[in-house]
Chains A and B, each alone.
Chain A
C-alpha cells in the first residue's frame, strides 16, 4: 500500500512537472509572433509568399497543439489570426483544401464572436467557395456577417472604432 501511494505521489509530481511548460511557455512567444507577422508583411510586399508562409507557420509550430488548445485568450487570438493569414495565403495560392484545413485549425481553438473568428469564417467561406461548395460557403459568410454586424454596431456606438 505504502509503495502504491509513493508511486502515485511520484506520478502526480511527474504530471505536475509535465504540465508546467503550459505556464512556462515563454512570454517571448508573443514577441516572436509579432516579429514574424511583421516580417511576413515585408516578405509579402516583396512578393515572397513562400517566405511569408514560413514565418507564419513558425508562429503556430512554436506551440504544440495541446498548448494551442489550452492557450489563453491573447494567444488564442494571435494563433487564430495566424491561421487566418495562412488560410488566406492558401486561397490566394489556389489551394482551397489547404485553406480549409488552416481555417478549421483556427476555428477549433474556439473563442467568442470577435474579429479573428469572423476572419476565419470569411477565409473558410472563401475556401468552400473555391471548392464549389456554395451552401457551406454561404453559411460561413453569413456567420461572419453576423459577427461583423455586431462588431460594427459596437464600434459605431463607441465612437467610430479608430484604433
Chain B
C-alpha cells in the first residue's frame, strides 16, 4: 500500500485491488462448498433438526387452520341462533272475560257438561272481539 494517500496508485496496488474485488465477488456469488465428507456429516446432524422444524411448522399451520375453522363455526352458530331466534310482536293480552261469560263457565264447571252449549254460544262474541284485537295489534287486518 502506498504511504502517501494523495499519490496515484501504483500498478501493483491496482492489481491487488482488482484481485480482491474479484475474490469478494466470487464468494458472494457462490457460497463456499464443504468437502463432501464433511457435508454428509453436517447433513446427518442438521437433517433431523430441519425435519423437526418442518413438522413444527406443519403443526402450527394445522393449529391455525383449526382455530380459523372453530372461529367460523362459532360465527355460523351465532348467525344461526340470530336467524332462528323468535322475533315477533309482543303477545297481545286477551280482553278481560265479561262476568256473564265467567258465570256460564262456572255453571258448566259446577253442573257438568250439559251447559257446554251455552258456554260455546257465550264464547262467540268474546272470541270475535279477541280475534279483532289480535289482528289489529299484529297488523293483520280484520278477518
A residues sitting closer than 8 Å to B (CB atoms) are 1-2, 5-6, 8-9, 12-13, 15-16, 19-20, 22-23, 27-28, 30-31, 33-35, 37-38, 41, 44, 70, 72-74, 77-78, 81, 85, 88, 91-92, 114-116, 118-119, 121-123, 125-127, 129-130, 137, 141-142, 144-145, 148-149, 151-152, 154-156, 158, 160-163
> B65-82 toward A: CB 8 Å interface, digit per residue (1/0)?
110011011001101110
Q: Does the CB pair A122–B99 fall under 8 Å?
A: no
Task: Select the stretch in B2-10, B14-22, B28-36, B100-108 that faces chain A.
Answer: B100-108
By secondary structure, the B interface counts as: helix
Number of residue pairs A-B, CB distance < 8 angstroms: 172
Q: Does the CB pair A34–B91 fall under 8 Å?
A: no
Q: Within the complex, what minimum Cβ distance (angstroms) separates A45 from chain B?
A: 10
Total residues of chain B contacting the partner, CB 8 A = 57
Across the interface, which residues of B come within 8 angstroms of A122, CB to CB? Answer: 105, 108-109, 116, 119
Q: Within the complex, what minimum Cβ distance (angstroms) separates B14 from chain A?
A: 65
Q: Does the CB pair A115–B109 fall under 8 Å?
A: no
Q: Within the complex, what minimum Cβ distance (angstroms) separates A30 from chain B?
A: 6
